[in-house]
Amino acid sequence: MDQETTAAGVAIVRTGGCLCGAVRFSARGAPGFPHTCSCGQCRRHSGALTVAWVEYPAEAVAWTGPAGPPARWRSSAGSSRAFCPTCGSTLGALDDAPVVALVVGAFDVPDDPALRPESHSFEASRPGWWSVSCGAVPPVE
């Protein structure tokens, strides 16, 4: 059985949203490319020194809150940063390619082995006194 489906074969859905609740999402199926990023764009967008990310095909993500989809700001040639227009929470990045990247911190239950970062981008951009440890890889059952 695919670990991202229930016994009945239904895809697992993970939910999350912003601080005020105006923007909510549901993401269906397995998250891809779980990683952290410490680049300057992630840092400024979030206010955090390192951001944890996962990616989904755009069709797997539904915006379910009262505000609908998040506000966006064009941050690079192929992608826009997504945030709540009411409370300003960082939510992710919407790529021109059909990919939605979501910040792990916006998920309702971030303590989920499927969301654990497996790689780290822009490590050299971290302050020297900042490090990231994601702990041991939990056994897959």
Residues that bind Zn ion (CB under 5 A): 18, 20, 22, 37, 39, 42, 84, 86-87
- What is the token pair recorded at 116? 């654990």
Q: Which one, 12 or 22, has the nearer CB to Zn ion?
A: 22
What is the DSSP-derived secondary structure letter of residue 8?
T
* Cβ at position 91, least distance to Zn ion in Å: 9
Query: Judged by CB, which is closer to Zn ion: 39, or 48?
Result: 39
Residues 141, 124: Cα–Cα separation, whole Å: 34
Considering beta carbons, is residue 80 or 86 the nearer one to Zn ion? 86
Q: How far is the CB of 141 from Zn ion (least distance, A)?
A: 32
Cα Rg, the chain, nearest whole Å:
15
Question: Which candidate, 34, 15, 19, places its Cα nearest to that of 90?
Answer: 19
CB of 50 to Zn ion, least distance (A): 9
Residue of 80, 79, 62, 61 whose CA lies nearest to 71: 80
* Between 23 and 27, CB nearer to Zn ion: 23
Distance CA 65, CA 46 (A): 21
Phi and psi (nearest 5°) for 101?
-100, 130
Task: Report the nearest approach of Zn ion to the CB of residue 76 (Å).
Answer: 10
